């Protein structure tokens, strides 16, 4: 292999990219980390940290209102959303120094703030510098998908990227999407005093959970006053933030208008891969996803993908796990390592729903869709669909320890 400037160049400084960078540097690799916005990624700025901090305030407000359950006087705390959001911002500020460029530079990482692109299979240009490396790691994460609903963008719809900047009252929030983010935020805003209507085209919420468990959450949220419009699509949105009207279309074709003040879109995520020059690098993209094999390798064997950009489950701990898998291959040449098939997760509604991996029902349906997508891909590409195996994912490995201790010392606990 020709001489390169770096052992590892990481593109994207969120959960996955930071663990690759810190873990690689602590193991003696020469590492560059390219970030186009700010280090910390979704989890710190617009994901886990702000959402779980908001949920904590909502839980306290709820407990105060129902304090008689614990033999105390109930009290309505009349939450002020601006104050609650200021607390969210202060929690983020408290963690931010651990993910800062200064800290990563002090670990020996060459941190480059800029928006670059691949110009060849082994070269990435950023800020007028050409970076060559033995291994590149794409860790660019994902962003909220905007459904093509007429009027939605003009109505100033919020996403997780703008929600936590709110400092105004939210009298009536209309949440589009009943997945984990939509459900968590719907309950939190209701507990913080907003009227909330949750709309989903699916007949139920939390589609990855067993139906009977999701139903417990649905009943609790309904009892708290969240209104659900399930099995209903949105025909159009009119008005602007402060006064929005959402036209709902039931399966029988009937239309109804729900008036609210704010719309939050939590209806799926898109992988960030545009503008990276993947063509020049020989990295294939299929159906909006970067094609990766079971080792997280792209169609260019020196380029790996970790975290949300890998196109599977989207969790901070999975991004960190991917980072360990890639480091084992990049540094110790342990090419048999694979991501674990057992992915635990928790949805922070009240009651919380936690699980370790898919239920038999979702496993069956994902097996069916994997078979379908592998069959269709085999005519277009030689790369295989992800087929994770638990082998090589033991947390006792030095890489796992190096990576996760870097993250642990960042103070990143998910439920703050
Ligand atoms: C509201 C919400 C709540 C969540 N709650 C939880 C939770 O409770 N628990 C949990 O496990 N997960 C949660 N998640 C998911 C979690 O945030 C993500 O899975 C995790 O952040 C993914 O890490 P990542 O490194 O793949 O991407 P990110 O953390 O998003 O980092 C990607 C980084 O790449 C940068 N980037 C993008 N494009 C480029 C480019 N072209 N060049 C350079 N840099 C680029 C971005 O600026 C960003 O810094 C939540 C997500 C959301 C939205």
Structure pTM?
0.89
Nearest CA owner, ligand 1 atom 48: 41
Q: How far is the CA of 249 from the centre of ligand 1 (A)?
A: 33
Tokens of 407: 């993250």
Q: What whole-number distance in Å separates Cα of residue 139 and Cα of residue 348?
A: 25
Q: Give the max Cα distance, the chain.
A: 72
CA–CA–CA angle 408, 315, 53 (5° rounding): 65
Pairing of strands 117-120, 195-200: unpaired
* pLDDT at res. 221: 98
Of the candidates 165, 185, 162, which has an alpha carbon nearest to the alpha carbon of residue 173?
A: 185
* pLDDT above 70: percentage of residues in the chain: 86
Q: What whole-number distance in Å separates Cα of residue 12 and Cα of residue 10?
A: 6
Q: Going edge to edge, which strands form the sheet with 172-176?
A: 227-230, 195-200, 172-176, 262-265
Q: What is the pLDDT of residues 221-270, one digit of tens each?
A: 999 999 999 999 999 999 999 999 999 998 788 899 999 999 999 999 99
Q: What is the pLDDT of residues 17-28, one digit of tens each?
A: 999 999 999 999
Dihedral of alpha carbons 125, 128, 129, 130, sign: positive
Q: Is 182 in the pocket of ligand 1 (CB under 6 A)?
A: no
* pLDDT at res. 374: 38
Q: Is 246 in the pocket of ligand 1 (CB under 6 A)?
A: no
For tokens 């960078």, name the residue: 21
Pairing of strands 269-271, 142-144: antiparallel
Q: What whole-number distance in Å separates Cα of residue 158 and Cα of residue 152?
A: 10
Q: Is 24 in the pocket of ligand 1 (CB under 6 A)?
A: no
Q: How far is the CA of 64 from the centre of ligand 1 (A)?
A: 33
For tokens 């796992």, name the residue: 400
* pLDDT at res. 359: 60
Tokens of 384: 């295989």
Which of 47, 115, 160, 356 is the pocket-test mutation for ligand 1 (most atoms within 8 Å of CB)?
47
Which of 10, 39, 42, 266 is the pocket-test mutation for ligand 1 (most atoms within 8 Å of CB)?
42
Q: What whole-number distance in Å separates Cα of residue 85 and Cα of residue 103?
A: 26
* pLDDT above 90: percentage of residues in the chain: 83
3-state secondary structure the chain: CCCCCEEEEEECCCHHHHHHHHHHHHCCCCEEEEECCCCCHHHHHCCHHHHHHHHHHHHHHHHHHCHHHHCCCCCCCCCCHHHHHHHHHHHHHHHHHHHCHHHHHHCCCEEEECCCEEEECCEEEECCEEEEEEEEEECCCEEECCCCCCCCCCCCCECCCCHHHCCCCCCEEEEECCCHHHHHHHHHHHHCCCEEEEEECCCCCCCCCCHHHHHHHHHHHHHCCCEEEECEEEEEEEEECCEEEEEEEECCCCEEEEEECEEEECCCEEECCCCCCHHHHCCCEECCEECCCCCCECCCCCEEECHHHHCCCCCHHHHHHHHHHHHHHHHHCCCCCCCCCCCEEEECCCCCEEEECCCHHHHHHHHHHHHHHHHHHCCCCCCCCCCCCCCCCCCCCHHHHHHHHHHHCCCCCCCC
Asked if 348 contacts 184 with a C-beta cutoff of 8 angstroms, the reply is: yes
Domains of the chain from N-terminus onward: 1-39+100-145+268-340 (3.50.50.60)
Of the candidates 143, 147, 169, which has an alpha carbon nearest to the alpha carbon of residue 246?
A: 147
pLDDT per residue, tens digit, the chain (416 aa), is 678 999 999 999 999 999 999 999 999 999 999 999 999 999 999 999 999 999 999 999 999 999 999 999 999 999 999 999 999 999 999 999 999 999 999 999 999 999 999 999 999 999 999 999 999 999 999 999 999 999 999 999 999 999 999 999 999 999 999 999 999 999 999 999 999 999 999 999 999 999 999 999 999 999 999 999 999 999 999 999 999 999 999 878 889 999 999 999 999 999 999 999 999 999 999 999 999 999 999 999 999 999 999 999 999 999 999 999 999 999 999 999 999 989 999 999 999 999 987 665 666 655 554 444 433 333 333 333 333 332 223 333 333 333 444 443 333 333 32
The half-sphere exposure of 217 on its side-chain side, counting CA atoms within 13 A, is 27
The half-sphere exposure of 169 on its side-chain side, counting CA atoms within 13 A, is 10
Strand partners, 111: 33
Dihedral of alpha carbons 90, 91, 97, 100, sign: negative
Q: Is 320 in the pocket of ligand 1 (CB under 6 A)?
A: no
List C-alpha distances in Å: 289 to 118, 239, 269, 307. 17, 34, 11, 12
Q: Is 41 in the pocket of ligand 1 (CB under 6 A)?
A: yes
């Amino acid at each position: 292999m020709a001489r390169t400037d770096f052992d590892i160049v990481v593109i994207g400084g969120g959960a996955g990219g930071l663990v690759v960078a810190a873990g690689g540097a602590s193991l003696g690799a020469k590492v560059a980390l390219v970030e186009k916005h700010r280090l910390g990624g979704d989890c710190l700025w617009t994901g886990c940290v702000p959402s779980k901090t908001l949920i904590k305030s909502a839980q306290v407000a709820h407990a105060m209102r129902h304090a008689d359950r614990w033999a105390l006087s109930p009290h309505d705390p009349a939450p002020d959303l601006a104050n609650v959001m200021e607390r969210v911002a202060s929690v983020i500020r408290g963690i931010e120094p651990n993910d800062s460029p200064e800290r990563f530079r002090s670990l020996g990482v060459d941190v480059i703030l800029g928006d670059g692109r691949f110009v060849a299979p082994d070269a990435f240009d950023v800020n007028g510098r050409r970076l060559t490396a033995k291994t590149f790691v794409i860790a660019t994460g994902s962003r909220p998908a905007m459904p093509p609903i007429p009027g939605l963008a003009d109505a100033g719809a919020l996403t997780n990227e703008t929600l936590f900047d709110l400092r105004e009252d939210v009298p009536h929030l209309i949440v589009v999407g009943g997945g984990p983010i939509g459900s968590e935020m719907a309950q939190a805003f209701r507990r913080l005093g907003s009227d909330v209507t949750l709309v989903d085209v699916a007949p139920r919420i939390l589609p990855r959970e067993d139906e009977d468990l999701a139903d417990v959450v649905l009943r609790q949220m309904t009892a708290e006053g969240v209104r659900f419009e399930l099995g209903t699509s949105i025909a159009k949105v009119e008005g602007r933030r402060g006064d929005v009207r959402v036209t709902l279309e039931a399966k029988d074709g009937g239309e109804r208008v729900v008036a609210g003040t704010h719309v939050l879109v939590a209806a799926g995520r898109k992988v960030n891969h545009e503008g990276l020059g993947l063509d020049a690098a020989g990295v294939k993209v299929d159906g909006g996803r970067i094609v990766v094999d079971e080792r997280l390798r792209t169609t260019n064997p020196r380029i790996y993908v970790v975290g949300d950009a890998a196109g599977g489950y989207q969790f901070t701990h999975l991004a960190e796990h991917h980072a360990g898998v890639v480091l084992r291959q990049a540094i110790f040449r342990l090419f048999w390592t694979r991501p674990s098939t057992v992915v635990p997760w928790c949805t922070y509604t009240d009651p919380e729903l936690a699980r370790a991996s898919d239920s038999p029902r979702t496993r069956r349906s994902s097996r069916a869709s994997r078979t379908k997508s592998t069959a269709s891909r085999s005519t277009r590409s030689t790369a295989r669909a992800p087929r994770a195996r638990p082998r090589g994912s033991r947390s006792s490995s030095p890489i796992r320890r190096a990576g996760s201790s870097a993250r642990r010392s960042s103070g990143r606990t998910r439920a703050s």
